[in-house]
Amino acid sequence: MRSGPVRWTGRERGRTCFRWDCSVGRRIRRIVDMTTDNSPLITRVASRRDHPACAKIFYAARKATFHWMPPAKIRFDDFEQATADEPIWVAERQRQIVGFVSWWPPENFIHNLFVAPGQQRSGVGEKLLTACLAQIGRPARLKCNIANEAALAFYEKLGWRRDSQSTSPEGLYWLMMLDAEK
């Protein structure tokens, strides 16, 4: 959070750090990991102030990678509708939001996972999935457009499996499953 003074409690347990945010008067948990460029990658619960940055990422990432969608169907204001009533976690690097994940809790369904185009393939997506799964548990599900080959490979590398195929307004998709841990 950027408003108000922040005081680290000095307690660090593995990669999870705790801090006291004086602006809201409560302890905040952040999962911290160091990337190869030594910039901390932090995942945290999104605040309403984070929504404009998330909307920019949502728009830019879809413009850059959703080649199967007509460009006119990708609009900047789609973010609020796509994440309505869903918890959102963001990933920050050097105080800049570089990605977000949102999910539908009643069904353990990951609805959105987007990383800024310049930050893709740097571990952001995996860290966001890890943070999300820590909240929702397993089994978990998500949909991935069949034309999104990079995303399909990403999920499969992390242990997700293709369960069934169906159609949505955006085209054919795979329902992906991450089974319960054994």
Q: What is the mean pLDDT of residues 17-45?
A: 59
User: Dihedrals φ, ψ of 85, to 5°?
Assistant: 65, 20
pLDDT at 5: 43
CA 5 centroid distance within chain: 26
With bands split at pLDDT 50, 70 and 90, how would you rate the model's confidence at 181? Answer: confident
Cβ burial of 3 (10 Å; 0-12, 13-18, 19+) is exposed
DSSP 105: G
- What pTM, to 2 d.p., does this model score? 0.78
Query: Distance of CA 1 to CAs 14, 97, 107, Å?
Result: 22, 11, 29
Pick from 76, 86, 72: nearest CA to 53: 76
- Each residue of 63-114: pLDDT tens digit? 999 999 888 899 989 999 999 999 999 999 999 999 999 999 999 999 999 9
**Residue 153 falls in which region: left (phi positive, over 0), alpha (psi -120 to 50) or beta:** alpha
For domain 42-178, the CATH superfamily is Gcn5-related N-acetyltransferase (GNAT) (3.40.630.30)
**Contact predicate 97/115, CB 8 Å:** no
Q: Are strands 109-115 and 140-145 parallel, antiparallel or unpaired?
A: parallel
Pick from 117, 129, 135, 116: nearest CA to 176: 129
pLDDT at 22: 45
Q: Which residues pair with 34 in a beta bridge?
A: 40
Domain limits, the chain: 1-34, 42-178
- Each residue of 120-138: pLDDT tens digit? 999 999 999 999 999 999 9
